[in-house]
Amino acid sequence: VSGRFVRASKYRHVYGQPTKRDLCYDNLHISNNAWDSNLINVNPKYLSVNWEASGGGAFAVIPLEERGKAPGIIPLFRGHTATVLDTDWNPFDDDVVASGSDDGKIGIWRVPDGFSIMVNPKEVTDVSPQTMLSGHKRKVGHLKFHPVAANVLVSSSADYTVQLWDIEQGKSKITLAHKDLVTGLDFNFDGSLLATTCRDKKIRIWDPRSGEVAVEGPGHSGAKISRLVWMGEHNRIATTGFSRMSDRQLAIWDASNIEAGPINGFQQLDSSAGVCMPFYDSGTDCLYLAGKGDGNIRYYEFEASTDSLYDLSEYKSTEPQRGIAVMPKRAIDVHANEVVRMYKTANDSMIEPISFIVPRRAETFQDDIYPDAPAGEPALTADEWFSGKSSNPKMISLKDVFEGNAPNVSVAIVSENKHEPKAETKVEQKVEQKVEQKVEQ
């Protein structure tokens, strides 16, 4: 990572703006389960929160406008028989959320019309799942919806597998077997590749539809958990993990050449014990790292032309976070020059929004900091994707959002400096070679 010398960047002065306490989400019972997930998730309408609940597992859904102190008893999303470990919102239907649990099941839920947590305690009615997906033999720890195809969900489990589901059919279509516990997973920009980190200290890039590992190599050498995030449109992934001496590390990898080791080596961050949760903002090419158990969020700018990460700054607070969620880009405040909005847990009882803002006067739309963003509409059906079709995500212009117009939707065009075409074909060639070898055998 390059040091703090002055370089021309529109994001050099980005700062994190916390929310006043009375506008946060308070009096919550956030799960204190030790499983490593992000605990909470968010979309333009709701927060989902792993809940500390008696009598089986549950999670809460909080409408974003219902700020302040939650009632002592609220309606919960109940249906699992053990603790809920992770949730993810359907990117193409803001009322649908998936949950993974210690009971080995995946719940698919629809938030009822007019749902509110501000109800009379005597009239609280819990929400039941639309469907429960069975297929994993042990707990389901991580979930991720596909970024392009409707109703495609990926899950990882303590049975050492990753499964890809068609949630409309309620079927697991593909199983990717690992040698140990999967600790992180993420799709690339068009959802044609899936990256995983694993407790066996390997990083794998899968062609999920062939069930083949396209590329793999050794990751962080420490015994603790490693996480990863795909860096937007680039053929790069960022990982966080630990060294053998238990220092926290950050690394950037060429997704078509993991075995070559990290580009520019492993960067030592500090010696804190908590996992670093990585998040990537594609619009600004900025990487955010939120440490579990500390109150800090570091952020960096990625320069694709030189494969360099530049230190921007660090948001510091005295209240440590265990969970973080990031708002989809289509719902940020473009009138306030907000580029990222995070939601962090505090004291296991509160969720606080933090706006990351580019300081500048903004009477007009700032097109240089707001490229097109994912539209929240699928470009493919599940059937199309599972049968081999690929597409870039559908995008909207944030200028339309700024001006209050109905957004114009178009399929993303990936620009040439994104490392993509060359690296993509390299990965595809490796997959084809492996498939051919299998056929020959």
Q: Does 382 or 9 have the greater pLDDT score?
A: 382
Does the pLDDT at position 431 exceed 70? no
pLDDT band at 424 (very low <50, low <70, confident <90, very high): very low
Does the pLDDT at position 236 exceed 90? yes
Does the pLDDT at position 435 exceed 60? no
pLDDT, position 265? 96
Neighbouring C-beta atoms of residue 383, cutoff 10 Å: 15
Q: Report the DSSP pairing between strands 286-291 and 276-281.
A: antiparallel
Neighbouring C-beta atoms of residue 31, cutoff 10 Å: 26
Question: What's the token pair of residue 418?
Answer: 């994104």
pLDDT (mean) for 281-299: 96
Does the pLDDT at position 441 exceed 70? no
pLDDT (mean) for 102-115: 97
pLDDT, position 407? 81
Q: Would you say 42 and 67 are in contact if contact means Cβ atoms under 8 Å apart?
A: no
* Backbone φ, ψ for residue 188 (5° rounding): -75, 180
Q: Would you say 24 and 332 are in contact if contact means Cβ atoms under 8 Å apart?
A: no
Q: DSSP label at 121?
A: G
pLDDT, position 439? 42
Does the pLDDT at position 416 exceed 60? no
Tens-digit pLDDT profile for residues 295-343: 999 999 999 999 999 999 999 999 999 999 999 999 999 999 999 999 9
Tens-digit pLDDT profile for residues 134-151: 999 999 999 999 999 999
Q: What share of the chain in percent tops pLDDT 70?
A: 92
Distance CA 171, CA 167 (A): 6
Q: DSSP label at 367?
A: T
Q: Does 432 or 60 have the greater pLDDT score?
A: 60
Question: What's the token pair of residue 437?
Answer: 């070898």
Nearest Cα to Cα of residue 326 among 278, 370, 291, 373? 278
pLDDT, position 430? 54
Tens-digit pLDDT profile for residues 147-204: 999 999 999 999 999 999 999 999 999 999 999 999 999 999 999 999 999 999 999 9
pLDDT, position 410? 87
Tens-digit pLDDT profile for residues 68-107: 999 999 999 999 999 999 999 999 999 999 999 999 999 9
In sequence order, what are the residues at sequence separation of 6 or more whose Cβ sits closer than 8 angstroms to the Cβ of residue 381? 149, 150, 151
pLDDT band at 21 (very low <50, low <70, confident <90, very high): very high
pLDDT band at 418 (very low <50, low <70, confident <90, very high): low
Question: What's the token pair of residue 296?
Answer: 């800090």
Distances (CA, A) of 361 to 280, 337, 416: 25, 9, 31
Cα 412 to chain centroid, rounded: 20
Class of domain 15-357: mainly beta
pLDDT, position 39? 96
Q: Sheet harboring 40-42: ordered strands across?
A: 40-42, 46-50, 57-63, 77-80
* Backbone φ, ψ for residue 392 (5° rounding): -70, 160
In sequence order, what are the residues at sequence separation of 6 or more whose Cβ sits closer than 8 angstroms to the Cβ of residue 405? none
Where are the extended beta strands (E) located within 243-362? Answer: 248-254, 263-270, 276-281, 286-291, 297-303, 308-315, 324-326, 338-346, 350-357
Q: Report the DSSP pairing between strands 194-198 and 182-187.
A: antiparallel
